[in-house]
Amino acid sequence: MKQFHPHAAHTAERVAAALAPHVHGRVLELASGSGQQCCVFAARMPDVTWQPSELDAGALTSIEAYRADSGCANLLPPLALDVRRPWPVDHIDVVLAIRLLHVLAEIQCVFEGARAVGAASVIVIGPIAEMASPAPAMPAHLAAWTVPIRIPTRAEVTAHGFAITHEEALGDDVMLVLGPAARGSGTTSGSRAG
């Protein structure tokens, strides 16, 4: 059965346009949710192979239903994947995490997993704080969530061997493109777009 998330439907095209210059090869999307957005990504970027994944069984069923209807040959069947455990994939070029870090208690597992599968870059999209204090205002589309939310800072995101190479505002969210940090540095920042 297909799930429907209004925020995903509203933002998919804008996110796809922002991602296009930064993705290539094989992209693993963590926590793909309903599957609405990965279908848009696959349709807009047919030269990229998209690997959706989820932990929730209902979401996996939804992703497959959207995938089957999409007709996109570059959209692979969804993987059952828990980001906190070894990932059941081989080489991946780009790891994509959309609105995940703020509901993940141990964000380092995203970056450790990315290194384990040989990813050249990690793209995170979601609320990112400038610093730990004061706490940023909660984006409206997260206000109704029932899971614990803790908005990570840029310092936390870049503390695991990756550095920011591009930053872009996407409505209430921020997109950070991260590549391997230079040896001895985890906080190198790159271009910033508004």
Strand order across the 162-170 sheet: 79-80, 49-54, 26-30, 94-98, 121-126, 173-180, 162-170, 191-193
pLDDT for res 161: 92
pLDDT number for residue 149: 58
Mean pLDDT across the chain, nearest whole number?
85
Angle between the 6-19 and 36-44 helix axes, to the nearest 10 degrees? 30
Q: Which pLDDT score is estimated for 193?
A: 46
Alpha-carbon dihedral angle through residues 160, 27, 59, 76, given to the nearest 10 degrees: -150
pLDDT at 2: 84
Backbone angles phi, psi at 139, to 5 degrees: -55, 145
Instruction: Write out the E strands in 45-93.
Output: 49-54, 79-80
- SS3 for 66-77 is HHHHHCCCCECC
Helix (H) or strand (E) segment spanning residue 43: helix 36-44
pTM of the model: 0.85
Q: Which among 42, 67, 71 is positioned nearest to 54, based on CA atoms?
A: 67
- pLDDT of residue 105 exceeding 60, the answer is yes
The mean pLDDT of 82-97, rounded to a whole number, is 95
Q: Indicate whether 182 pLDDT > 50.
A: yes
Percent of the chain with pLDDT over 90: 60
Domains, the chain, with CATH or none: 6-193 (3.40.50.150)
Give the pLDDT confidence score for residue 4 in this predicted structure.
Answer: 76
Quick check: 49 pLDDT over 50? yes
Nearest residue to 35 via CA among 89, 90, 72: 72
CA distance 156 to 186: 10
